[in-house]
Amino acid sequence: MSISTTRRARAGYEDLVLAELRRSGALSRAELCRRTGLPKTTMFGVVAELLERGAMIEQEAAGSAGRGRGRPAALVALNPSAGLYVGVDVGRRRVRLVIANASHEVVATGLADIAEDAVPEVVADTVVTLVRAVAERGGIGLSGLTAVGIGVVGVLGGASSSTPVEEVRRLVGEELGVAVSIGNNSRMAALAEATWGAGRQVDDLVYVRWSTGIGGGFVVGGRAVTGARGGAGEIGHVSVDPNGASCHCGGRGCLEGLIGGAALLDACAARGLALADLDALVTAAQDLSPVACRVVDAAAARLGRVLAGVVVQLDPQRIVVGGELAQLGSLVLDPVREAIGRLALPRVAWPVDVVQADLGVNAAALGALALLLREDEQPA
């Protein structure tokens, strides 16, 4: 083998190791061998060289102190100072941001309001201003900024997309001087839950974001599924009532129009319970308001009926429910479980976990980070 061929092979091994650490965070050498398939001697040589160059660091495994005699267990991780990544979630009314280092450690977060109908220039300016303000407040230098990931509402490039994404991508990239990746924020939240949250132990999951709108995402074989046009997982626009009200997506009787945040508030008001916003509805249900509980229970059952069809088609191991409504725990999850158990191949003993999301309101911003840290993987 020639020297140039050997160098190319070595570089390939290094890329493989670094990519796995970007995906998974700190790992032992043995676990790196298992995940990459590299021989032990090759792995140890690659790790030693990357440590010497400063691309990686060595750290003690959590809980290894006090294990008794012998050398403490050691993990290797990307050097935190080797780069910064920014994840942004552009929602309908708020922009959420997280900044993380190359070792997957979140070092700062931020939040800003935005108008629902904001034009691309305003969206981009809001994102850039928030990045700089959060960095300044946290004493974070942006000279090490490597990339920015942004999640937006709707099918990218489609009629339901809330922003012309290419313009936002271009403007943010020009202002911050780095590459910008953009995807649907619900699909990004699904990726985050699969990477760090409630779906990290399974390879096949369905994620539902139940908020003002209803979004979703599928992870199959450990990879986020986007579909041919970026619309995979848009369960909020499944038509539940073909004769129902028209939807902003162009369809009729969509699930989002029937159980999205506005519909729930209208249902409560029609029963004599006026609530200011979705947070107030969640609080009312947590306080066991009979009206709020009945409205949420009926809506969750309807969501479960739609998810039963998804379960039949995708056969996931787990369904993860996020968004504001997920804070209600069993009040939401139990009707969803009941509907799935009753309708999704009930004669087949294939249990499907239905669980609350782990990552809270920053899930989509964290998913934008996951997209960047797993950039070597192409969407399915």
Give tens-digit pLDDT for 272-297: 999 999 999 999 999 999 999 999 99
Does 211 lie in the same domain as 345? yes
Domain that holds residue 244: 201-357
- For residue 275, being part of any structural domain is answered with yes
Does 213 lie in the same domain as 348? yes
157: number of CA atoms within 13 Å, CB side? 8
Query: Which residue has 């976990």 as its token pair?
Result: 353
What phi, psi does 206 have (nearest 5°)?
A: -115, 130
Does 97 lie in the same domain as 49? no
Looking at the DSSP bridge assignments, the partners of residue 219 are 205, 224
Does 86 lie in the same domain as 74? no
Give the residue ranges of DSSP H helices in 55-184: 120-137, 165-176
> How far is 110 from 130, CA to CA, in rounded Å?
7
- For residue 169, being part of any structural domain is answered with yes
Q: Which of 62-66, 109-113, 120-124 has the lowest mean pLDDT?
A: 62-66
DSSP state, 155? S
For residue 103, the model assigns a pLDDT of: 66
pLDDT(378) > 50: no
Question: How many domains, in total, are found in the chain?
Answer: 3
Structure token digits, residue 71 = 């050398």
CATH number of the CATH domain containing 142 = 3.30.420.40
What phi, psi does 106 have (nearest 5°)?
A: -75, 120
For residue 285, the model assigns a pLDDT of: 97
Containing H/E element for 41? helix 40-53
Does 163 lie in the same domain as 118? yes
Taking alpha carbons only, the member of 227, 193, 230 closest to residue 209 is: 193
What phi, psi does 246 have (nearest 5°)?
A: -70, 150
pTM score, two decimals? Answer: 0.75
Give mean pLDDT, residues 168-181.
93
Give tens-digit pLDDT for 37-73: 999 999 999 899 888 877 788 888 766 555 555 555 6
Contact by Cβ (8 Å): 340, 348 = no
Rg, the chain, Cα only: 23
Does 155 lie in the same domain as 23? no
Q: Which of 2-16, 78-92, 267-281, 288-302 has the lowest mean pLDDT?
A: 2-16
- For residue 209, being part of any structural domain is answered with yes
Containing H/E element for 111? strand 106-113
- For residue 379, being part of any structural domain is answered with no
Give tens-digit pLDDT for 83-96: 789 999 998 888 99
- For residue 194, being part of any structural domain is answered with no
- For residue 195, being part of any structural domain is answered with no
Residue 106 pLDDT grade (very low, low, confident, very high; cuts 50, 70, 90): confident
The full DSSP string for 261-281 is HHHHHHHHHHTT---SSHHHH
Does 333 lie in the same domain as 229? yes
- For residue 193, being part of any structural domain is answered with no
Helix (H, G, I), strand (E, B) or coil at 249: coil
- For residue 380, being part of any structural domain is answered with no
Cβ atoms within 10 Å of 159's Cβ, excluding its own: 9
pLDDT(4) > 50: no
Structure token digits, residue 135 = 């960095």
- Sign of the dihedral through C-alpha 116, 125, 147, 158: positive
Give tens-digit pLDDT for 188-245: 999 999 988 999 889 899 999 999 889 999 999 888 888 887 788 899 999 999 998 9
- Domain end call among 28, 58, 78: 78
What phi, psi does 90 have (nearest 5°)?
A: -95, 100
> How far is 102 from 100, CA to CA, in rounded Å?
7
Does 316 lie in the same domain as 217? yes
Does 342 lie in the same domain as 269? yes
Q: In angstroms, what CA-CA distances link 24 with 58, 291, 309, 355?
A: 15, 44, 32, 22
Does 280 lie in the same domain as 144? no
Give tens-digit pLDDT for 312-365: 999 999 999 999 999 999 999 999 999 999 998 776 666 789 999 999 888 999
Does 219 lie in the same domain as 351? yes
- Domain end call among 78, 101, 129: 78
pLDDT(161) > 80: no
Does 156 lie in the same domain as 90? yes
> How far is 214 from 344, CA to CA, in rounded Å?
21
CATH number of the CATH domain containing 54 = 1.10.10.10
pLDDT(262) > 50: yes
pLDDT(129) > 70: yes
Looking at the DSSP bridge assignments, the partners of residue 319 are 206, 354
Arithmetic mean of pLDDT over the chain = 86
Contact by Cβ (8 Å): 74, 28 = yes
Taking alpha carbons only, the member of 213, 309, 306 closest to residue 264 is: 213
Query: Which residue has 């699930």 as its token pair?
Result: 255
More confident residue, 18 or 252: 252
For residue 338, the model assigns a pLDDT of: 94
